[in-house]
Amino acid sequence: MSDNTITSSAINLPIELWNGTTSDGKPNLLGRFLYLCWRIDWQLHATPFNSNMPNIVQEYSGDFKPGFTKGVVSGLSQAWLHLSKLTVAEKSFEELSEGCRTEGAEERFIPMAPALRWFWMGLENDLRAAEAKKWLVAIGWGEILKQAEGRDTAMQRVLAGHAVSYGSFIEEKPEYTTAKQKADARFIEDMQNWQRSGMKDHRPELKDYQPQVCHAAA
């Protein structure tokens, strides 16, 4: 299964809306990049005048293809304020995970894809980040954004109460899946009855069944 594929599990198993791991169980590209951001952010907070960035290169460069250099880390550090917004957004995601949910987490949630775009704008406005930008393109910046968009979409289902986040993956609630399947079946039956009646009166609309799903899954 690819990093960002949304798949359905077998019958009677929860539907997976997002998975943050690869087929070999390792974090996907988004996860690896965000962990690097965490590491740089922590290092700059801990020792802003002696950040010892070569250690970051030695420890984490092998997680990416191609790997990165000290120049890349320095470039990312130039956009520290924007990079810190990524770590704040990631923290807001973690606070909505099952077992880690904190009071008011729903109101504090920050979608990751927009935060990444602001981060990129910060890099574009700094000539010192040229090497970092080239590296991000090389490892797959477009894929990072795509994975973030997929996670944000799944998190909207969590915020609506229709799914559960376990951090590394997000699943649709079984009761919501069941209600949705029943609503789909009612819509198909009503549509068939409408056609048999000579298509008289009001035509069934699928959108009219969504409130029934939400009510049944509440």
In sequence order, what DSSP letters do the residues of 161-192 get, joined into one string? TSEEE-SSEEEE-HHHHHHHHHHHHHHHHHHH
**β-pairing verdict for 16-19 and 169-172:** antiparallel
Both 79 and 148 in one domain: the answer is yes
Higher pLDDT, 23 or 48: 23
Question: Among 111-120, 155-164, 187-196, where is mean pLDDT lowest?
Answer: 187-196
Mean pLDDT (whole number) for 26-40: 96
For position 92, what pLDDT does the model report? 96
Both 55 and 29 in one domain: the answer is yes
The answer to whether residue 3 sits within a structural domain is no
Both 114 and 54 in one domain: the answer is yes
Domain that holds residue 83: 16-172
Both 193 and 134 in one domain: the answer is no
State the pLDDT confidence band at 218, using cuts at 50, 70 and 90: low
- Token duo for residue 109: 């949630």
Check: CB of residue 154 under 8 Å from CB of residue 17. Answer: yes
For position 192, what pLDDT does the model report? 86
Which segments within the chain are labelled E, that is strand?
A: 16-19, 163-165, 169-172
The answer to whether residue 6 sits within a structural domain is no
Both 125 and 184 in one domain: the answer is no
Check: CB of residue 110 under 8 Å from CB of residue 88. Answer: yes
State the pLDDT confidence band at 125, using cuts at 50, 70 and 90: confident
Domain total of the chain: 2
* Among candidate residues 154, 172, 190, the one where a domain is terminated: 172
Both 144 and 179 in one domain: the answer is no
From CA 77, how far away is CA 99, in angstroms rounded? Answer: 32
Both 121 and 64 in one domain: the answer is yes
| pLDDT over 70 at 12, yes or no | no
For position 7, what pLDDT does the model report? 43
| pLDDT over 70 at 176, yes or no | yes
Residue entry with tokens 């960035």: 53
pLDDT tens-digit map of 59-85: 999 999 999 999 999 999 888 888 999
The CA radius of gyration of the chain, in Å to the nearest whole number, is: 22
CA angle 198, 200, 201 (to 5 degrees): 160
The answer to whether residue 120 sits within a structural domain is yes
Q: How many CA atoms lie within 13 A of 41 on its CB side?
A: 17
Q: pTM (2 decimals)? A: 0.78
Both 182 and 159 in one domain: the answer is no
Both 168 and 179 in one domain: the answer is no
